[in-house]
Structure 1
Amino acid sequence: MSVIVVFLLVLAGVAGWWLAQQRLMSKPWLEHGPSNAFPGTEAPDLPAEKIGLGVFLAVVGCLFALFASAYFIRMGLPDWQAMPVPPLLWLNTGMLVLSSVALHLAVVAIRRDQLGTARLALGTGGLTALAFLAGQLTVWRDLTTDGYFLSGNPANSFFYLITGMHGLHILGGLVALGRTTARAWNVEEAGRLQLSIELCATYWHFLLFIWLAIFVLLAGWANALIDICRQLLT
């Protein structure tokens, strides 16, 4: 259960930071005078789409935390045979990092009314995400060629389940990203795209965080990280 506690603590920290950025923790009723006299205390104007995405990401985070907890419990049994970490996973991780960076640049560009730069960043983010998915499918193919089948061992099943579930979330995100990219080429006002791009970027950053946690788990580094966290907490 330690891994799920650590994961949820990190998730709670990220959520708290995000809420602080949205000024949901402000208390304007404690101030006196005109609202414009106290910058940063105005009532937050948070779109419903961002709230909905935050709730969805919290559910997804809990889902992967449960997967990680089950992984740790199952690996303690004697029939567990850990799979090797394919070197291609490093390249795939790099592709997802580039995709997340590209979407962050798209947010920066759209806030500066640089529509052309935002279009380029959105296209780059989508292509690198597709490269990530293609790399994951290649990893699956290579593993099955080497005899690591889904039903061969519990470790194999967990590997395909967790990476496959993450890939499905990436695929779903690509649908939204594709629609946003298509809109970017059909509008002339950057302001009409800002919310959509910010939602896509938030989703992508979250999936990158989830993938890094998965990679640490599959590579066998999670035990060492948990021991470090225990030492820090004690």
Structure 2
Amino acid sequence: MSVILVFLLVIAGVSFWWLAQQRLMSKPWLEHGAPLPGLEDTGVPTTKLGLAVFLAVVGALFALFASAYVMRMALSDWQAPPIPRLLWLNTGILCLSSVALQCAVSAARRSQAETMKLALVTGGLTALVFLGGQLLAWRELSARGFLLDSNPANSFFYLLTGMHGLHIAGGLLALGATTARAFAGEGQERLRNSVELCAMYWHFLLFIWLGLFVLMAGWANDFIDICRQLLS
């Protein structure tokens, strides 16, 4: 349970920071002199709010998986597989993908169409390379005898990386549609919200992946012990 609590606290902190950035915590009826609250537009698209709720649900799901991982690893039959070196490269590639999408956001806000297109394509291609690298990591572990059903630790490794990969693949569909609209010449004002949504999704998945990587590599054990002591 400590893993879930710590993760939810982190999510809450990030959420409050994001709300502050989007001015959702402000009181527009006081700032603009509106007679009643709720009559002034906060300027935040409902799509961003919807995505924020969806990401909170996804974060809770991964927190449950992480909690189950920590509880299961305490049993005697747990034999964690070695972390393939390729995962280091994959992590760097996913970071590049997230940086590329942030560049696309900056370009969209500055009405730099060509830069935005290049950044969107770069973000999509690096995400595809990341997925390919994850499949190669699976193949490497299988070839070394670390099969899905040979140990509970192996099952968790494939489950966690597979779930994360599915979310990346789902995000690629939205990113592909946004990129197609950009090359079709759609106005950047209409595209900017879609680009920002894709970047927001990518940053979140990068955050999730870094947490999973730390967990599966075994570096989180000391941190979890400290959290348990603080929460006990």
Confirm or deny: 8 A CA contact 1:143 1:149 kept in the other structure.
Answer: yes
Superposed CA deviations along residues 153-190 of structure 1, whole A, max 9, x for unmatched, are 00000000000000000000000000101111011532
- Which one of 151, 154, 174 corresponds to residue 176 of structure 1? 174
Match of 2:9 in 1: 9
Structure 1 residue 66 displacement after superposition: 0.1
CA distance in 2, matches of 1:101, 1:124: 10
Alpha-carbon RMSD across the aligned residues, in angstroms, is 1.7
Match of 1:96 in 2: 94
What secondary structure is seen at the aligned counterpart in 2 of 1:193?
helix
- Shift in alpha-carbon separation, 1:188–1:30, aligned structure 2, 3 A: closer
Match of 2:51 in 1: 53
Superposed CA deviations along residues 68-120 of structure 1, whole A, max 9, x for unmatched, are 00000000011100111110000000000000000000000000000000000
Match of 1:128 in 2: 126
Q: Does 1:151 align with 2:132?
A: no
TM-score (normalised: structure 1) = 0.92
What secondary structure is seen at the aligned counterpart in 2 of 1:86?
coil
Superposed CA deviations along residues 167-219 of structure 1, whole A, max 9, x for unmatched, are 00000000000010111101153212101000000000000000000000000
What secondary structure is seen at the aligned counterpart in 1 of 2:51?
helix
Match of 1:74 in 2: 72
Confirm or deny: 8 A CA contact 1:6 1:226 kept in the other structure.
Answer: no
Q: Does 1:196 align with 2:194?
A: yes
What secondary structure is seen at the aligned counterpart in 2 of 1:150?
coil
Confirm or deny: 8 A CA contact 2:2 2:227 kept in the other structure.
Answer: no
TM-score (normalised: structure 2) = 0.93
Structure 1 residue 4 displacement after superposition: 1.3
Q: How many residues align?
A: 227
Match of 1:23 in 2: 23
Percent identity, please. Answer: 70
Q: Which amino acid aligns with 2:64?
A: L
Unaligned runs of 5+ in 1: 36-41
